[in-house]
Structure formats: C-alpha cells, structure tokens
C-alpha cells in the first residue's frame, strides 16, 4: 500500500470517528434536555462535557 493510499484511509477513518463522536454527543445532549439531568458533567472528561453542554444549549434554542 502506498503512503498516499494509507493517508487517504486514515483520513476517511478520522472522518468516520468524528461523525460517531458528534452523533453520540447529540444523543447525550438530547437526553439531557429531555430529562433535565446533566450526566456528561458527572461521567465524562471536562472537555467532552463542555462540548455536550454547548450542543445542549443549541438544541434548547
């Protein structure tokens, strides 16, 4: 496999993983809006919890 092919595969995998991460964050933010419970602050690293909080605020608008 050439380096260019390998780089292309790695970029595709990064895009796939970013999509999964965003989808999971959207689900958590929607859950928090629906239930009023802020689980992300309790169970996730601070950086992820902040991203989810930002999404949650955007969903509630």
Q: What is the pLDDT of residue 36?
A: 87
> pLDDT by residue (tens digit) across 2-59?
999 999 999 999 999 999 999 999 999 999 888 988 888 888 888 888 888 888 888 7
What pTM did the predictor assign? 0.74
Q: What is the pLDDT of residue 58?
A: 84
Q: What is the pLDDT of residue 13?
A: 97
| DSSP-H helix ranges across 1-61 | 3-35, 39-43, 46-60
> Of 48, 8, 53, which Cα lies nearest the Cα of 30?
53
Q: What is the pLDDT of residue 14?
A: 97
Q: What is the pLDDT of residue 21?
A: 92
């Amino acid at each position: 496999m050439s380096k260019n092919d390998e780089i292309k595969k790695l970029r595709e995998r990064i895009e796939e993983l970013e999509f999964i991460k965003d989808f999971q964050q959207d689900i958590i933010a929607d859950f928090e809006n629906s239930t009023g419970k802020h689980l992300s602050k309790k169970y996730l690293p601070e950086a992820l919890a902040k991203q989810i909080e930002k999404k949650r605020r955007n969903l509630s608008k």
